[in-house]
């Protein structure tokens, strides 16, 4: 009889891509395994998961709105409705195990799975566990983490250090520099910086690059600038025909492997999934954590690398005044760049998806 696995969570690419990676690994290990995703209606997983070839069911659940207390009034009712729907989903699917990767849907699905006595596994991506996962961890059978020292959040005997699952296609960059540069119409032999604010973009990073375009041109540094679809039209309008030849402006990167291969240095937010990819790439990185995330976990993720001299950390507040100058000074320092790339590369854990998938199957057995 085929084993049945429910994977819950999403909300951002940082949750969705690891979830899909775990699902793909499960299918590699057991071709007849049945997988059902549970996400939050209206969030990006409802499109990305089917595009990856998996079925998904949505819950009407949301997070706490910190800007408008009125919008939180319906939250308790949505939670109760999501718990009841989660119960129906688990029962009708006949799940053998439930996996939570974080995001709105993960909470109610794993809560109900625990209530029904179903074995659960948490994949905690960040160096700082949120309130929901800390509570769920008390009943979870296994907690797969990406950072050391997570015993301050979870029972030690349940923790397994696995790293975060990554998109393997995104980090396979060996020998692709020439074709990557050609795809962006950039020149070989020139220093190239990749600026990425994630799938949604990052206003701070966009403002920094916009203000620093002349400095990049003066130093003859090329820039691959992934600004996010939300900001793309406005930036195109602002720049019109004034976009320098050394800068490629894109709303979204369809080929992350090309972007990573072309780059000599990377400027990025500090989401857990992104950091795991950056470790696998092994190139010098400047991290500018987003301040707009729960428990400021991006700053904690970035500090975990900066304390090991594996990345440069610049706060969101400081970025507008020092980021571009720091980039240009660093990219000219080849010894420092080599050291950063070497140290971040040593933190890579490339087989996290299969390690986690094997743990999922063990819980069924």
pLDDT at site 273? 85
| Position 79 pLDDT exceeds 80 | no
Query: pLDDT of 228-253, one tens digit each?
Result: 988 999 998 999 878 888 999 999 99
Kindly state the average pLDDT of the residues 97-125.
Answer: 92
pLDDT at site 169? 84
Phi, psi of 222 (to 5 degrees): -85, 150
Q: Which of 93, 167, 154 is nearest to 126 (CA)?
A: 154
Specify binding-site residues.
12-14, 126, 167, 199, 298
Q: Do 197 and 269 touch, CB atoms closer than 8 A?
A: yes
- At how many degrees (to 10) do helices 352-364 and 13-29 cross? 60
Query: pLDDT of 340-353, one tens digit each?
Result: 999 999 999 889 99
Contacts 24+ apart (CB under 8 A), 134-142: 136/100, 136/106, 136/107, 136/110, 136/111, 139/114, 140/110, 140/114, 141/363, 142/359, 142/362, 142/363
pLDDT at site 305? 94
pLDDT at site 15? 79
Which band of pLDDT confidence, cut at 50, 70 and 90, is reported for residue 130?
Answer: confident
Distances 337 to 193, 210, 300, 341, 348 between C-alpha atoms, Å: 12, 24, 22, 6, 17
Q: Which of 264, 272, 297 is nearest to 193 (CA)?
A: 264
Q: Do domains 4-165+351-364 and 169-345 have the same CATH topology?
A: yes
| Position 65 pLDDT exceeds 60 | no
pLDDT at site 144? 96
Which band of pLDDT confidence, cut at 50, 70 and 90, is reported for residue 64?
Answer: low
Q: Do 38 and 105 touch, CB atoms closer than 8 A?
A: yes
Specify binding-site residues for UDP-N-acetyl-alpha-D-glucosamine.
12-14, 126, 167, 199, 298
Name the 3-class secondary structure at 18: helix
Which strands, in side-by-side order, build the sheet including 142-145? 55-59, 34-40, 4-8, 97-100, 120-124, 142-145, 159-161
Kindly state the average pLDDT of the residues 247-272.
Answer: 94
List the structure tokens of 111: 């809560």
| Position 297 pLDDT exceeds 90 | no
Q: Which of 92, 97, 131, 139 is nearest to 114 (CA)?
A: 139
For domain 169-345, the CATH architecture is 3-Layer(aba) Sandwich (3.40)
24-38, 287-301, 331-345: least confidently modelled range: 287-301
Q: Number of H helices and number of E strands within the chain?
A: 15, 13
Q: CA dihedral defined by 97, 100, 104, 110, rounded to 10 degrees?
A: 40
pLDDT at site 63? 61
List the structure tokens of 248: 């490629």
pLDDT at site 200? 74
Name the 3-class secondary structure at 110: helix
Domain parsing of the chain, residue ranges: 4-165+351-364, 169-345
Q: Which of 198, 175, 196, 178 is nearest to 188 (CA)?
A: 178
pLDDT at site 66? 58
Let me know if 113 is exposed, middle or buried by CB neighbors in 10 A (0-12, 13-18, 19+): buried
Phi, psi of 203 (to 5 degrees): -60, -45
pLDDT at site 70? 62
* d(C-alpha 264, C-alpha 315), whole Å: 22
* d(C-alpha 175, C-alpha 197), whole Å: 25
Higher pLDDT, 275 or 12: 275
Which band of pLDDT confidence, cut at 50, 70 and 90, is reported for residue 72?
Answer: low
Name the CATH topology of 4-165+351-364. Rossmann fold (3.40.50)
Task: Provide, rounded to the nearest whole percent, the portion of the chain with pLDDT above 90.
Answer: 67
pLDDT at site 78? 75
Higher pLDDT, 168 or 98: 98
pLDDT at site 45? 87
Q: Is the pTM of this model over 0.85?
A: no
pLDDT at site 247? 95
Report the run of H or E that residue 38 belongs to, with start and end: strand 34-40
Highest mean predicted confidence (pLDDT) among 75-89, 114-128, 318-332: 318-332
Query: pLDDT of 11-30, one tens digit each?
Result: 776 778 889 999 999 999 99
């Amino acid at each position: 009889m085929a084993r049945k696995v429910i994977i819950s969570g999403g909300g951002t690419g940082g949750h969705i891509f690891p979830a899909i990676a775990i699902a793909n690994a499960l299918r590699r290990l057991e071709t007849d395994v049945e997988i059902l995703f549970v996400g939050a209606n209206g969030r990006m997983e409802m499109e990305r998961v089917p595009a990856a070839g998996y079925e998904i069911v949505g819950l009407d659940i949301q997070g706490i709105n910190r800007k408008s207390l009125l919008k939180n009034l319906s939250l308790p009712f949505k939670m109760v409705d999501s718990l009841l729907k989660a119960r129906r989903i688990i029962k009708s699917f006949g799940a053998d195990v439930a996996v939570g990767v974080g995001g709105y849907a993960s909470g109610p699905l794993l809560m109900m799975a625990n209530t029904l006595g179903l074995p659960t596994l948490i994949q905690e991506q960040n160096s700082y566990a949120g309130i929901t996962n800390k509570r769920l961890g008390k009943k979870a059978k296994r907690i797969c983490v990406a950072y050391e020292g997570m015993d301050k959040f979870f029972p030690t005997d349940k923790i397994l250090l696995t790293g975060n699952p990554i998109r393997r296609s995104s980090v396979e960059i060996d020998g692709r520099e020439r074709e990557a540069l050609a795809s962006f119409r950039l020149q070989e032999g020139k220093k190239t910086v990749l600026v990425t604010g994630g799938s949604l973009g990052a206003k701070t990073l966009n403002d920094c690059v916009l203000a620093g375009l002349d400095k990049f041109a003066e130093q003859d540094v090329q820039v691959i600038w992934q600004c996010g679809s939300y900001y793309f039209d406005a930036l195109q309008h602002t720049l019109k025909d004034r976009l320098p030849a050394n800068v490629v402006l894109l709303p979204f990167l369809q080929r992350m492997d090309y972007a990573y291969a072309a780059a000599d240095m990377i400027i990025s937010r500090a989401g857990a999934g992104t950091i795991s990819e950056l470790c696998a790439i092994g190139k010098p990185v400047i991290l500018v954590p987003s301040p707009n995330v729960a428990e400021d976990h991006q700053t904690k993720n970035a500090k975990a690398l900066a304390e090991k001299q594996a990345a440069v950390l610049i706060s969101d507040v400081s970025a507008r005044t020092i980021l571009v100058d720091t980039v240009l000074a660093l990219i000219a320092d080849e010894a420092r760049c080599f050291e950063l790339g070497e140290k971040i590369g040593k933190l890579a854990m490339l087989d996290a998806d299969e390690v986690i998938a094997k743990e999922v199957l063990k819980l069924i057995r």
